[in-house]
Amino acid sequence: MTGEAENVSWIIDTGASNHMTGSLEKLKDLRKISACPVGLPNGSHVLPTEEGTIKLDNDLVLSNVLYVPGLACNLISVSQTIDESDCIAAFSKHRCVL
């Protein structure tokens, strides 16, 4: 999935508890948060201390996106999307529909 946020790819992640990005410059409306450990794919842990909002396109705005220093990808959390948008997620071999 790509969007207005500089045509950056986002991974739809069923295992992530929060939306996350390693790019601080993409976040708008930044605010400090209490640090909570986030596990990285290499096994290390990082303590994000900020979160913000990212507009992916006219219809999709992600709120409460954690800034995770060192994260080399961007993640859309399915569980956070369902919780915040009161929607349903359906997956098939070639599609994900929210």
CATH assignment at residue 93: 2.40.70.10
Q: Is 5 helix (H, G, I), strand (E, B) or coil?
A: coil
Q: Which domain range does residue 51 map to?
A: 11-97
Total domain count, the chain? 1
- At residue 3, does pLDDT exceed 70? no
Q: Please indicate, yes or no, if residue 64 is contained in any of the structural domains.
A: yes
The residue among 56, 63, 60, 50 whose CA lies nearest residue 19 is 63
Tens digits of residue pLDDT in 45-89: 888 989 999 988 877 889 999 999 888 889 999 999 999 888 888
How far apart (Å, rounded) are the C-alpha atoms in residues 15 and 13?
5
Per-residue pLDDT tens digits for 8-48: 789 999 989 999 999 888 899 999 999 788 887 788 888 89
Cα angle, residue 21 at apex, residues 15 and 23 outer, rounded to 5°: 165
Give the whole-angstrom CA distance, residue 35 versus residue 23: 17
* Claim: this prediction has a pTM higher than 0.85: no
On whether residue 5 sits in a domain, the answer given is no
